[in-house]
Amino acid sequence: MTETQTNATREPVSKERLRLWLRFLKASRAIEAQLRENLRVEFASTLPRFDVMAALCRFEDGLKMSQLSGVLKVSNGNVTGIVDRLAEDGMIVRVPVPGDRRASLVRMTNRGREEFATQAAAHETWINEMLIDFSPSEANDLAARLEQLDANLQEKTP
């Protein structure tokens, strides 16, 4: 933090950084909008639904609803509706928790895993096309800098 503050004192407030933020926000919204559109057209799906499946695929043994919400950092209410629809569609199952009659785990079915694998591969291809102007090594460097930026922000707000 000391280094950052020294830099801030040395350099005047930069219009370029403000412009970068505005462009950054616009690009991130445009990419997200394109992903939403592609998921809708190609898979009749949504980004929140994709995110729920991605989270569940990372936990083989399943997750309680509260854990799933924690992983997604969204309210339980939103997730419940998505999970209900995924269960209806056979993508996930609810399984009882041994020793806790009121709790259940949410877990991907084999069909759900296959469907998500297809969607995730398409998602990766879409991203690859949208970010094609960044070479892999440029992408790598920028990702590392954004990771650092994020770490700096986390440090400031514990």
Which residue number, 64 or 126, has a Cβ lying nearer to a second copy?
126
- Closest distance between a second copy and the C-beta of residue 94, in Å? 29
| 40/31 Cα distance (integer angstroms) | 14
- Closest distance between a second copy and the C-beta of residue 31, in Å? 7
Which residue number, 37 or 100, has a Cβ lying nearer to a second copy?
37
Q: Map tokens 């700096």 to a residue.
A: 152
The burial of 66, by beta-carbon neighbours within 10 Å (0-12 exposed, 13-18 middle, 19 or more buried), is given as exposed
Q: Which residues bind a second copy (CB under 8 A)?
A: 4, 7-8, 11, 13-28, 30-32, 34, 37, 124-125, 127-134, 136-137, 139-140, 142-143, 145-150, 152-154, 156-157
3-class DSSP assignment, residue 50 = helix
Beta strand pairing status for 63-64 and 92-97? unpaired
Which residue number, 7 or 110, has a Cβ lying nearer to a second copy?
7
Which residue number, 72 or 105, has a Cβ lying nearer to a second copy?
72
Residue 68 token pair: 């799933």
Least Cα distance to 17 among 149, 154, 158, 156 occurs for: 149
